[in-house]
Amino acid sequence: MLTTIVNSARGRRAATLLALATGLTLLLAACGGNGGNAGGSSASTGGPVSKCGLGNGKKATGTPVKLGAIVTKQPGTDFTPITGMAQAYFSCVNDNGGINGRPIQYIVDQEQSDPQQVRADAVDLIQNQGILAMVGNTSLIDCSVNNSYYQQQGFYVIGASIEDQCHTSPNYATVNMGPNYSTQGAVQYVVSQGAKKVVIDAANVPGGAAEVHFGIEYAQEKGLATHLFLDDVPITDASGIALRDVQEAGPNGAVVLNFTPPEGLKIVEAAEQQGLIDRVKWGWSTPGNDASVAQALDTPWNGKLGINAELSLVTAKGPDTALYRQVQKKYAPSIALGSFSEMGFVAAEIVTKALLQLPPDQLTKDGVNTAIRNIKDFKTDILCKPWYYGNLPYHVPNNTDLTVTPVNHVMTQKQGCFEIAALPDNNLAAIRAAEVSQHLNTA
Amino acid sequence: MLGLALGGVFAVSGVGMVVLYRATGVLNLAYGAIGALGSLIAWSMINVFLLPDWLSYLVAVVFGGVASLLYGLLIGPPLAGRDPLVKAVGTLGFLLILLGVMDWVWTDKAHALILPTTQWGFQVSEVTVNVTQILAVGLAVVITAVTEVFLRVTRLGAAMRALANDREATAMLGVPVRRVEAAAWLGSGLIAGATGLLLSTLVGLDAVTLTFLVIAALSAALVARLQSLPVTLVAGFVIGVLQSLVTPFSLVSSYRSITPFVVAIVALLWFARRRPVVLR
């Protein structure tokens, strides 16, 4: 009897604790907010919506098709929204027939800029895990560490680029153009707005200076003075940094940022607090195109921050963009709508469509990677021009983009699609010539 | 002014840490994380649950006190007799738990929490000085002064000072040690909640940044050898101002994040200059 009472009391205590824990968990989960609502949804915008994979509503079963990725996640630098959104798309594909009935298993290794770790991740994914393709890789050092290994293994990676080395390999093509070209795009914007001097402020990370080189080169080609600041992340003195940048730019100058959303936001918020918004023109490379940034910025920034967007506005009405919003809402509500998550979505969409065209016996490492290399003229409304892989010594298939700006807490289009200018160092003249001669995006 | 404001918050944080250390012997490394989590909760209350700003700020401060008090009540007593290093490592574990919760719930999205006092300001030379910055400086001076007076004048303050000198002897004299320690945890936590809100505006609402800003506060506390509140105040201001002064100079700008360490090392070497070298 005593045992029963004790057990009963314990049971009640356990039930109470469980209820408390459940309540707390639900409350915390609600606390994170739903950034997705800020960008609207397909339901609100209407219009046609693409389908995930086969789009038949049947859950995929059987032996999984393994895909892998390496992604940087460390203080001040977090690219996991890219792989997180790719995972969300694959989950949607798995709920809609998979790859002709087989589910996709997506294995993501997080790294912290340790070359040994990054190489070990690639070896583990390819040799131990037995993945068939690398999709959504976004790392500060993956390209420089693993390019030769991917070539040796016959892998054709579809990633999102940070390093220039991601654009100098025959085995690596990205859905974005990376910070170097994107910063150039932001510089092109501020120059078009009449800036007489360009200050670029970037994260002090491995290759931080190199990844904004094209922006400096473009400004100097236009005969403008330039200055580069590299700041440690996480930023702890944003007010001083904002003031320093504006003072360096001077009257009629411009400040162009190259930071992840949380870090760049600190600087623009600090600029607003100190009344520095109208002292210079402001630009930001692609990471700034993020719903959480638009939501956080107040109306004084309306139309005054030109953000280079390598992909479509998250509120655009195209069918792929509508599907992207639906997938984010259903499968990854904690990931913000923005360029990062769009990159993951596009990379996953490209590889899924390539896999769906393969006969079952070709779902092998060689079969899949050959199919990836043969991709050309992949059309999506998320990119300005069709995407391709092709047989090239280097890849920048996304080389035309647009400029967006926050207006009343929502990103809106400021400039339509424009070409990133060809420069002596950026290979774009040769790449555009190859696009035409090989009919890569003009079919 | 920018440096003074930042230094003011470092100073307030340092004061909160010193008071707690003097009363309990615990160097609370989770101090910044407590403030960060309180601020993120306030952000959610305002932006997700659309609750009044004032209520959200109040909850952030109260959360700081409650979280700190709970740690002090649940984890503090079992570690009371252990080495100070063990106690500090205990708070490091608390820091990691809080950081994990923030990463899980609020993810990597950009967040901004701007106190309404930031809207008001005046122009000084090229920049706008806002009321939040003035508040940070004023709060540092006021909290330091009030805490100093509290420790000297009140019975509870006297008990805290006694605990700092000799915990066992104080207990034998009939001082309710647990209750005095709990008060220190609560007070320190409330200050952590308030400084978290100020730092969210002055630095940015980012879990990692706010969590590890404790290093600057710790440096200020170390300069004061974890004893003197006025010295902690001055050290906090010096660190903040120096860091801001270094920022515009390209040559050294990249190294400004080491300012707290440099100040702490220089101060510790200065204090040790007359200490004889002992060969063993």
**pLDDT tens digits along B118-128:** 888 887 776 67
pLDDT digits (tens, 9 = 90+) for A406-436: 999 999 999 999 999 999 999 999 999 999 9
How big is the A-B interface in CB pairs under 8 Å?
Answer: 139
What's the pLDDT score for residue A76? 65
**The pairing of beta strand A400-407 with beta strand A410-419:** antiparallel
Co-location of A291 and A358 in the same domain: no
In a domain, A430, yes or no: no
Residue A405 and residue A414 in contact, taking contact as beta carbons nearer than 8 Å: yes
> What does the domain layout of chain B look like in residue ranges?
2-271
In a domain, A47, yes or no: no
Co-location of A188 and A304 in the same domain: yes
What's the pLDDT score for residue A4? 38
Co-location of A163 and A199 in the same domain: no
Co-location of A274 and A288 in the same domain: yes
**Percent of chain B residues topping a pLDDT of 70:** 96
Peptide bond into B260 cis (omega under 30): no
What's the pLDDT score for residue B83? 87
Tell me: pLDDT of A155 over 50.
yes
Tell me: pLDDT of A204 over 70.
yes
3-class state of residue A136 by DSSP: strand
In Å, how far are A68, A141, A150, A172, A299 from A112, measured between CA atoms? Answer: 17, 9, 20, 21, 36
- Complex ipTM, two decimals? 0.78
Cβ–Cβ gap B123/A275 under 8 Å: yes
Co-location of A75 and A166 in the same domain: yes
Co-location of A227 and A295 in the same domain: yes
When mean pLDDT is compared across A70-79, A413-422, B55-64, the lowest value belongs to: A70-79
**B105 CA: distance to closest CA in chain A (Å):** 5
Cβ–Cβ gap A273/B111 under 8 Å: no
Distance of alpha carbon B18 from alpha carbon B34, whole angstroms: 16
What's the pLDDT score for residue B277? 64
Co-location of A294 and A363 in the same domain: no
In a domain, A167, yes or no: yes
The number of angstroms, rounded, from the C-alpha of A220 to the middle of its chain's C-alpha atoms is: 28
The whole-number average pLDDT for the span A309-321 is 91
What's the pLDDT score for residue B23? 84
Co-location of A227 and A294 in the same domain: yes
Co-location of A326 and A365 in the same domain: yes
Tell me: pLDDT of A30 over 80.
no
Co-location of A252 and A217 in the same domain: yes
Q: Scanning every residue of chain B, which has its alpha carbon at the shortest distance from the alpha carbon of A31? A: B44
Residues pairing with A183 in the sheet? none
3-class state of residue A312 by DSSP: coil
**CATH code at A350?**
3.40.50.2300
Region at A427 (left for phi over 0; alpha for psi -120 to 50; beta for the rest)? left
Tokens of A308: 């280079």
Q: Scanning every residue of chain B, which has its alpha carbon at the shortest distance from the alpha carbon of A231? A: B254
Closest C-alpha among A335, A352, A338 to residue A89? A352
Cβ–Cβ gap B204/A238 under 8 Å: yes
Residues pairing with A104 in the sheet? A65
- Which run of H or E residues covers position A231? strand A225-231
Cβ–Cβ gap B248/A35 under 8 Å: no
CATH class name, domain B2-271: mainly alpha
pLDDT digits (tens, 9 = 90+) for A275-293: 899 999 999 998 898 888 9
What's the pLDDT score for residue A362? 93
**A289 CA: distance to closest CA in chain B (Å):** 11
Which DSSP string corresponds to B2-71? Answer: HHHHHHHHHHHHHHHHHHHHHHH----TTHHHHHHHHHHHHHHHHHTS---HHHHHHHHHHHHHHHHHHH
What's the pLDDT score for residue A7? 45
Residues pairing with A407 in the sheet? A410
Residue range(s) defining the domain that contains residue A200: 180-309
The count of domains in chain A is: 2
Q: Scanning every residue of chain B, which has its alpha carbon at the shortest distance from the alpha carbon of A276? A: B127
pTM for the predicted model, two decimal places: 0.78
In a domain, A331, yes or no: yes
pLDDT digits (tens, 9 = 90+) for A205-260: 877 888 899 999 999 999 999 999 998 888 888 888 998 899 999 999 999 999 98
Co-location of A150 and A195 in the same domain: no
**Percent of chain A residues topping a pLDDT of 90:** 70
Q: Scanning every residue of chain B, which has its alpha carbon at the shortest distance from the alpha carbon of A236? A: B203
- Domain's final residue, options A263, A294, A309: A309
In a domain, A13, yes or no: no
Distance of alpha carbon A36 from alpha carbon A195, whole angstroms: 34
**The pairing of beta strand B127-130 with beta strand B121-124:** antiparallel
In a domain, A404, yes or no: no
Co-location of A118 and A142 in the same domain: yes
